[in-house]
Structure 1
Amino acid sequence: MKAVDIRNLSQEEVKAKLAETKAEYAKLRLSHKVSPIGNPIQLREMRKTIARLSTALK
């Protein structure tokens, strides 16, 4: 998710998206530890998205 898209969301939508993304990230990390996922760069992108969402809340 790009910063421009995040700025267009309301604060409540950002909070919901942040919670959803954190849950997805936790699942993906667990599945990656069990058996390597096809695209490990996806983990990095999700971390960056979480950071962008957190920054938008401040």
Structure 2
Amino acid sequence: MKASDLRERTQAELEKEEKDLKAELFKLRFQLATNQLENPMKLRDVKKSIARVKTIIRERQLKGTDK
């Protein structure tokens, strides 16, 4: 997921995306703990996606716009 795609979304969509990504990260961590995770790089990708979403949310808070 690219940052440019995320910037086009509304605040509510970004918050929902963050919630979904956190749920996915939770599931991936359980799979890692039980040795069922097939692709460990997926953890890294999800963490980076969460960071992107949080960054854009914070940018909007500082800017004062809730697109």
What TM-score, normalized to structure 2?
A: 0.82
For the residues of structure 2 that align with 1:5 and 1:16, how far apart are their CA atoms? Answer: 15
Superimposed CA distance per residue, residues 7-57 of structure 1 (whole angstroms, 9 cap, x where no aligned partner): 010010000000010011011111111114111001000000000000011
Q: How far is the alpha carbon of 1:5 from its aligned partner?
A: 0.9
Mapped partners of 2:30, 2:36: distance in 1 = 10
Q: Which runs of 5+ in 2 are unaligned?
A: 59-67
**5+ residue gaps, structure 1:** none
Structure-1 residue corresponding to 2:65: none
Cα distance in 1 for partners of 2:25, 2:45 equals 10
**Higher RCO (CA-CA < 8 Å; seq separation 6+):** 1
Equivalent in the alignment of 1:27: 27
